[in-house]
Structure 1
Amino acid sequence: MTEQVLTSWNEGPAKQAVLEYVHGATTPGPAFVEPADRIATFDNDGTLWVEQPLPPQFDFVFRTWEDEVKADPSLAARQPYKALMERDQEFFEGLATQEPKTVATLLEAFARSWAGTTPEEFDARVRQWTQTVRDPRFGVPYVELVYRPMLELFDLLRANEFRVFVCSGGGRDFMRVFAEDTWGILKENVIGSAAAYTYTSGKIVRSRELLGGLDLGPGKPEHIFAHTGRLPAFAGGNADVDIEMLQSAAFALLVRHDDDQREYAYTKGAEASLTMADQLGWTVVSMKNDWATLF
């Protein structure tokens, strides 16, 4: 089993813990999980792809807002456009750590920017971004900065009848555009902060309202339960905003960013989750030590 799965993972406690959990969950005995309850949920930014210096979705929305400010300069006096135009460092730090109030400000503006558009119009803009914009450090499209070890974990879980979901504070519809090609996850298995839709004149259009609040902190297990009718058996995250989701799962995996050569090394925004991992016995994955291949 260890030779055929998780091939980008180094041998060690993290890989062994994952394999032991999956074996126990699928083998009759005290740790067995019924197939219907085999729900696995994963954060996106920092868990499935690079989130530094800012989560990639913000690159997409900032380009949109810069165009909007050019068209209507009065927007520069309002948040979050003001912070963008002034390069407000405190604001950007709140984004990097996914501070809920800051993220809420952005998502509300994001909803306004795309209100009245159809899914096809929105998808086309995101798809163009994925194909033309490159990460400034690595020089490749952001969708090429997905962690190979996590995709292998998805394969392992699916092979053992787990249904895999992505549950992120980022935009659900943004992630859905590339979910199937990049993660091998169907659109309906993507959970995230989202605009409400209305059906009018024979078509679906985005509204200005957020649907069900932010998918951060306690919002994660709330959204997961609303979407699946279950809480996760397996959950993976990397930050403090993932704590409640990790607490709700039988097996919790926390990705630690400690590889400044191949990626980034930082703990800001993850201090509480790392402390809780020690207290509750969560499995912590060291990028530097546990992953032989990153992307």
Structure 2
Amino acid sequence: MRARTEQRRRSPQRRRRTRRDAALFLALVAPNLVAILVFSYYPSLYNIGLSFTEWDFVEPTPEWVGLENYQDLFTDPAFGQVLLNTLIFTGVSVVGSIIGGILLGSLLATKLPLTGFAQTMAFAPHMLPGAAVGTLWLFIFDPNYGLSRWLFSLVGASSPAWTTTSDWSLWAITIAYTWQRLGFVTVICYTAILDLPRDIYEAAALDGAHGWTLLRHMTLPLLSPITFFLSITGVISAAQAFDIISIMTGGGPGNSSSTLSWMVYEEAFQKFDIGSASAAATILLVILLILTFVQVRVGEKKVNYDS
């Protein structure tokens, strides 16, 4: 009886404490939650709504057209080229930066002379604005005066017109973007490699494992969580790349270097077709959601398999 009476006395105090903790939690979370709702979810939902309309920024209200914008996109041959460009640009830049980042991170982890300077130089491209990176690579790819001309002259060949021909423009922006992201991936991989358990490497070295064998059978499996994170963030970032494309090629010649992110800008602010731009942005959103879901599922299966 005494215990029950004491518990009843405590219950109001416990409820007040719970309400106070809940109020404090909401007060701390509310600013971030409101910012996410206002600046992330609402624009996304509003964009999806605009994709079912026709609007040119001039008419006072958008006109409802249903699925017409999506039908126009999927029946336009140029849209298929844009999708393929997006896939190539994203895939090559993500895979290339991860492979290069792991190799450079492993090299930096060997404690060679001037490692600190090398780390700074490796991370520097990531700190540069995309417009600066695009301008730098425009000079490098210049077929008359750039570094590309000199490199090709070493083998007796002439430099291609990287940014002005449809055969090379997509590869030009892909190389530039991969170089910019490589520094970030390198530093992440370098830090992760330093945190790997040294005793495992020492045991493997005693068994005669060195160099490529250690990298393939030890470093890569242990870095799988990091590569999983870098692949997700890399896909999202590459699919939304804009500034390098704007500076280097403008999506051209034709649609040879146009991606979905550039198409959204072109449809909205050059052709003033807001409905088509919103439909393209919605398709990009769906593709990113699907890719992220697949990557997360694959990562979960790998974790369950390893455990």
TM above 0.5, one fold? no
Tell me which protein shows more strand as a share of its residues.
Answer: 1
TM-score after normalising by structure 1: 0.31
TM-score after normalising by structure 2: 0.30
Larger Rg: 2
